[in-house]
């Protein structure tokens, strides 16, 4: 019986969705993997997912900025020379960037600046929550601010 169970469940550690779900479940984390190779693969998959989610978000931000700049051209802007309009938009974006960087240092948590590996290391060092009483979704809601990069794939895993 044991052999049949091992045979049946051994394939689960090769399934990306199952491995990531276990890794990101604060009740289990990396304690359910039978080998370090599975944990290494899980970390690689997590990095891939975070990177793939960050790229479209960055592209959306750029598109929104371009659209806002395009919508900002009104009748008066059309009368002004093109070069002058470019300089105005350039100055506005420089000022916006400056204020964003000044304000960000006061609002962004130091952990948010850390890389994914650091967040994942801290997440894995956290104690696991009670398997019977703990609610993983509630845990992620409470800790989303501490693990911003690691929590990105949890929304992906939960939605699938």
Compute the half-sphere exposure of residue 136: CA atoms within 13 Å on the CB side of its CA: 17
Tokens for 125?
Answer: 């060092």
83 domain residue, yes or no: no
104 domain residue, yes or no: no
151 domain residue, yes or no: yes
Closest CA to 42 of 137, 111, 124, 114: 124
45 domain residue, yes or no: yes
For the chain, how many structural domains are there in total? 1
In terms of average pLDDT, the best of 23-27, 71-75, 80-84 is: 23-27
99 domain residue, yes or no: no
Mean pLDDT across 118-138: 92
Cβ pair 39, 31 in contact under 8 A: no
107 pLDDT tier (thresholds 50, 70, 90)? very low
19 domain residue, yes or no: yes
pLDDT at site 80: 57
Q: What pTM was computed for the model?
A: 0.58
CA distance 106 to 72: 29
pLDDT digits (tens, 9 = 90+) for 75-93: 555 555 655 555 555 556 6
36 domain residue, yes or no: yes
Average pLDDT, the chain: 75
Q: 18 is in which domain, residue-wise?
A: 6-75+115-159
On the question of pLDDT at 105 being above 60, the answer is: no
């Amino acid at each position: 019986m044991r052999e049949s169970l091992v045979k049946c469940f051994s394939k689960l550690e090769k399934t990306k969705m199952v491995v990531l779900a276990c890794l990101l479940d604060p009740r289990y984390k990396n304690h359910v993997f039978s080998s370090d190779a599975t944990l290494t693969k899980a970390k690689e998959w997590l990095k891939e997912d975070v990177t793939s989610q960050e790229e479209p978000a960055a592209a959306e931000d750029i598109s929104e900025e371009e659209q806002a700049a395009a919508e900002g051209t009104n009748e008066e802007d059309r009368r002004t020379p093109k070069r002058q309009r470019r300089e105005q938009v350039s100055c506005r974006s420089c000022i916006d960037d400056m204020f964003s960087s000044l304000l960000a240092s006061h609002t962004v948590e130091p952990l948010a600046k850390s890389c994914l590996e650091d967040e994942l290391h801290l997440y894995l060092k956290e104690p696991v929550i009670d398997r019977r009483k703990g609610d993983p979704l509630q845990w992620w809601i409470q800790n989303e601010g501490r693990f911003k990069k690691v929590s990105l794939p949890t929304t992906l895993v939960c939605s699938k």
